[in-house]
Structure 1
Amino acid sequence: MIDTLLVVALAGLVVVVVAMALTALAAWRTERIAIVDVTWGLLFVAIAWTALAVGDASARSWLLAVLVTVWGGRLAWHTGSRFARADQEDPRYEEMLGDGPIGGRLALAARKVFAVQGGAAWFIALPLMVAAATDRPLGLVAALGGLVWLVGLVFETLGDAQLKAFKADPANKGKVMDRGLWAWTRHPNYFGDACMWWGLWIIAAEAWPGVLTVLSPVAMTYFLAFATGARLLERDMAKRPGYPEYMERTSMFFPLPPKRS
């Protein structure tokens, strides 16, 4: 098993390097570093199927590959659509890298964005790679993980759909979205993401030594809630009229009943 795990881990690292190199080329051609957001979801899909191909093609690996493909494919479609609609760089990357010529920004992005995100993706994908080195049959724990994953998918998909419908109504222009799932958490899509990765970890944890990869979903949850996700987004959102009041009555991440005004 050790030999298989090393091969899978090395193959996953190669996938990360190749994917980030191609992303850098795409960023140079489009002159927008934000294209890395599209790569993020697809990178996990590539790692999952590579792990399946070079590891033990067990039912667990197949299940994880399919679930990650649903998650990563949907995320790539969502971020890709947003990237296509925009005509300028994402403000997050402008703040991080400046707004100079693409050559200078790419040099900084190689260290601050591509290397960091690539390393984070490889670490977060450890449950997928470790599971590919095991052959234990699926059991009740895997079923529980699938249920947690499904809850996350519902939160992410429904939250995005509710927000899209809210923005499409001209009557809501300038208003804060505080309906549906958004009344229970300010970031149902990020919470859904975290749930899905905890579900994937539970599936992997059923087969030893998958349980040892628990820091992978912890890292994903940290990024979503405190690092590059919700906390970073709210730095700008808090400046909008009505948003501070929304923050006072609505849980930031974990869904809770809204507080009375």
Structure 2
Amino acid sequence: MAAATSVGFDWGDLLALLPWTLAAVVVVLGVTLLVALRQGRHTVVDVAWGLGFVAIALTAFLVGDGDAGRSWLVLLMTAAWGLRLGVHIARRSRGKGEDPRYEAMLAKAPGSRTVFAVRRIYLTQGVVMWFVSLPVQVAMVQSDPLGWLAWLGVAVWAVGLFFEAVGDWQLERFKADPGNKGKVLDTGLWHYTRHPNYFGDACVWWGLWLVAASTWPGVLFVLSPAFMTWNLAKGTGAALLEKDIGDRRPEYADYVRRTSGFVPLPPKRA
């Protein structure tokens, strides 16, 4: 990428930072596991997902020694996204039992359910969290000032946060109306994509990557947002959710036929 220049970057600074952010992940998920065992449900790990990224960004901000403007910007971008997501999921799961996904997974545990949960849920989530956050960590040790590509990243991030927050809000209002029970939400942002929240989530991470990619060597960490996007669209995100909804709501097939699965597009005509 031609726009990726560098005033100075020390790989040693990044290598020194990585153990600290890894420790932050371990602490967040360790505390989450204790809370989960106390409550008797591992669904609390979903609340810790966004908060874990905030902990990584804050740790990198405190330990890193990069450009102050870039560091503050990335910290605020990550915190705004992660805190909103954490609060939203906490409100959504309040008073509910175990997530059916985790219940089905834990039912297959060959031995201790706790050990199985640590290996299959917490360890997996921790590795993904740390890997996806690499652009955030790199940005915290870059000494270059902000350039135009970084501000393009802010714009992409803002679009993503809008889609994610508004999409979640529209779905929450839809479910709160008893008259919509059994129906499919196909208005608002959901008229143009079946997963505006997942699309927004992907945009958030591409935006953060652009902030890091505006200077060397941030561009090298493109696999982090790429993996996040794949996971949202084809992995444990949209694909898994749609399988569950399709099994419960036959009319969802028509919605799938006429509505884009990820990127917002005008719906197909009947």
Q: What TM-score do the two structures reach when normalised by structure 1?
A: 0.95
- 1:9 and 2:18 correspond: yes
| Residue pairs, 1:182-261, within 5 angstroms | 182-239=190-247, 240-261=249-270
Q: Which runs of 5+ in 2 are unaligned?
A: 1-9
The aligned residue for residue 166 of structure 1 is 174
Aligned length: 258
Q: How far did residue 168 of structure 1 move?
A: 2.1
Equivalent position SS for 2:94? helix
In 2: Cα distance, 1:155 partner to 1:169 partner: 21
Equivalent position SS for 1:227? coil
In 2: Cα distance, 1:260 partner to 1:104 partner: 51
Equivalent position SS for 2:199? helix
- 1:176 and 2:184 correspond: yes
Q: How far did residue 57 of structure 1 move?
A: 4.5
Q: Note the alpha carbon deviations across 1:112-136, whole angstroms, 9 max, x for none.
A: 1111100111100000111112110
In 2: Cα distance, 1:106 partner to 1:222 partner: 28
Q: Note the alpha carbon deviations across 1:82-111, whole angstroms, 9 max, x for none.
A: 22131x1100101111188xx932110111
In 2: Cα distance, 1:201 partner to 1:53 partner: 20
The aligned residue for residue 50 of structure 2 is 41
Q: Note the alpha carbon deviations across 1:35-62, whole angstroms, 9 max, x for none.
A: 1101110000000011011111521111
74, 86, 97: which one aligns with 1:64: 74
In 1: Cα distance, 2:112 partner to 2:88 partner: 28
Q: What TM-score do the two structures reach when normalised by structure 2?
A: 0.92
Runs of 4+ off more than 4 Å: none
The aligned residue for residue 122 of structure 1 is 130
Identity percentage over the alignment?
A: 54
In 1: Cα distance, 2:265 partner to 2:144 partner: 37
Letter in 1 for 2:185: M
